[in-house]
Structure 1
């Protein structure tokens, strides 16, 4: 009888060992590192009329969960928002709130820091228990089996309180516009100081008469007197010849 009890005890211990051995083996097979985190970017408005935006960059996965913290409020983004966000488009935070939280459309936490935490919902129990946590939410049930991946912070700006966007500047004006009707002092040309290159063209000299030597007044008078004397002499000689013939 005693031997039977001992045998039963040994068998029971063996069974417990197998069970604990399986648990140990199973525990050692859990993932010790969290999965890769997607990138969440929040861009705040800069000028009047602009919107605050949020963008998801990564591979969409149904395990992702996004928790928004503002002050003492902590809410998980609804599944429709999550699905729309994971499509990768840059979304307007104002439009998302108006669409999915119409009663809170006028209570966006502007000028207050907000946090968006990204979690992996480990519903299959793939990751080590040290990575998993329960996130207490102010709206709805708590998020359990949550493996934290990343956190993004930003301070949203009220578009209506921002300055107007600067007007587009006029096209650049040339430094020295061509204007034939206007000239500046800097554009004036000093003709005296600026050499002008002119192509020289040889022109044949026109034939001309030899220059006569210039006569003095005395010489001119003597010449006229000689002519008069010669004329008188010729007339006298002619007259004498006529008288002689007669």
Structure 2
């Protein structure tokens, strides 16, 4: 009986352990945390800088690891904090400031990658998401949940061509046909007298009409005078004929 009780108790504890173990396992997060956006802009012309910019919400859990060839280096905490303020930073100036001994060894013209990790120090994420990153300098990065990767090839500003000069402000707006605007203006100027002539014609029309009316009136008077004279002659001639008879 005692043995049966012990066996039953052990079985019960095992069942409870399985239940609590499942609850614990199911409580772990399997969805990745939000990943910030890391943008690397490379120099295009002589004297320009290669820059890096962080876009997102700053979080102390973020870790940034640069891979160049066989080297993996985690950015120092001071660089991480400066980067997460959101300003676009010069990579050359960051190296000179935080790695003065390596200021002349930036991996120009070599592909690099910047991996963003979430340092799961609280153990909130499933073990399948966590990894250990072997670093070239310092201890390895443990409990790292990888979020994103950005790749770029930095350019040596001293080996790039000079930036193009600013365009000459005196260059015509229409270099293909610089006379196009002049021709357009000439057309407008040529049409102006037409408008003036049209206005002048409409203003002088009443005068011409009045002159035409006066001319007709004068013509009518002349015709009437001729007819009246003819009637007088005829009447006088008729009277003479009557007297003779």
Question: How does the TM-score come out when normalised to structure 2?
Answer: 0.70
Question: Deviation string for 1:104-160 (max 9, x for gaps)?
Answer: 000000000000000001111111111111111111111111111000000000000
Residue 10 (structure 1) aligned with residue 2 (structure 2): no
Tell me whether 1:77 sits opposite 2:68 in the alignment: no
Name the structure 2 match of 1:91. 89
Cα distance in 1 for residues equivalent to 2:166 and 2:82: 34
Q: Partners in 1 of 2:103 and 2:80 — Cα distance?
A: 18
- Note the C-alpha offset of 1:174: 4.3
Gaps of 5+ in 2: 175-181, 187-192, 208-245
Could you tell me how far apart the structure 1 residues matched to 2:12 and 2:97 are?
Answer: 61
Please, which moves more after superposition, 166-175 or 119-128? Answer: 166-175
Q: Separation in 1 of the partners of 2:93 and 2:25?
A: 45
Match of 1:179 in 2: none
Question: Normalized per residue, which structure has more helix?
Answer: 2
Stretches (4+) displaced over 3 A: 172-176, 195-202
1:156-188 C-alpha deviation (Å, 9 max, x unpaired): 000001111111112144469xxxxxxx9xx99
Question: Does residue 37 of structure 1 match 2:35?
Answer: yes
Q: CA deviation at 1:44?
A: 0.2
Secondary structure in structure 2 of the residue aligned to 1:67: strand
Q: Which residue of structure 2 aligns with residue 158 of structure 1? A: 156
Distance 2:8 2:173 in 1: 101
Aligned residues: 188
Q: Unaligned 5+ residue runs, structure 1? A: 177-183, 189-194, 203-246
Query: 1:48-87 residue pairs with structure 2 within 5 A?
Result: 48-87=46-85
Q: After TM superposition, give the deviation of residue 16 of structure 1 in Å.
A: 2.3
* RMSD, aligned α-carbons: 2.6
C-alpha distance 125-175 of structure 1, shift in aligned 2 (>3 A):
closer
Q: 2:110 aligns with which of 103, 109, 112?
A: 112
- Within 5 A, what are the aligned runs for 1:124-163? 124-163=122-161
The alpha carbon displacement at 1:18 in A equals 1.2
Per-residue CA shift, 1:192-216, capped at 9, x if unaligned? xxx99877999xxxxxxxxxxxxxx
Which is worse superposed, 4-13 or 117-126?
4-13
Shift of 1:13: 2.0
